[in-house]
């Protein structure tokens, strides 16, 4: 089991950057593939990015590819999402999630058993 806490959200202007962090508890953090998802009001939760257990493999939604970078530091039990060139349509609550199967290629939220509380990202035009 793992507990996750996101941080780093805020209000930025279009074109700006934010770095989100997801801090996990437990000694088994490194066995989980991790994902970032986001949800805007009235919208379904959508996949943003995933990363494998060791960080060697990543996958991104087309909407963020080339702008966002997911990474992890297992020694610190932390996953990051660096967001550059932010757009108003990136506005959402961002969640990190842990996949106990360890498969980074899962983009379906139902495959992730553990979720953080989320952090709000607002991008103004």
Work out the pLDDT band at 6, boundaries 50, 70, 90.
very high
pLDDT at 26 over 80: no
Work out the pLDDT band at 93, boundaries 50, 70, 90.
very high
Please name the residues in contact with 39: beta carbons below 8 A apart, sequence gap of 6 or more: 45, 46, 92, 93, 95, 118
Work out the pLDDT band at 27, boundaries 50, 70, 90.
confident
In tens, the pLDDT along 56-69 reads 999 999 999 999 99
pLDDT at 3 over 80: yes
């Amino acid at each position: 089991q793992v507990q996750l806490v996101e941080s780093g959200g805020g209000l930025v202007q279009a074109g700006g950057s934010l770095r989100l962090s997801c801090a996990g508890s437990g000694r088994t953090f490194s066995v989980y593939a991790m994902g970032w998802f986001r949800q805007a009001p009235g919208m379904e939760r959508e996949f943003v990015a995933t990363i494998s257990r060791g960080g060697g493999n990543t996958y991104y939604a087309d909407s963020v590819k080339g702008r966002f970078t997911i990474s992890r530091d297992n020694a610190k039990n932390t996953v990051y999402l660096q967001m550059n060139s932010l757009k108003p349509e990136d506005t959402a609550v961002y969640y990190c999630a842990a996949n106990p199967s360890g498969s980074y290629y899962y983009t379906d939220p139902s495959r992730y058993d553990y979720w953080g509380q989320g952090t709000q990202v607002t991008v103004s035009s």
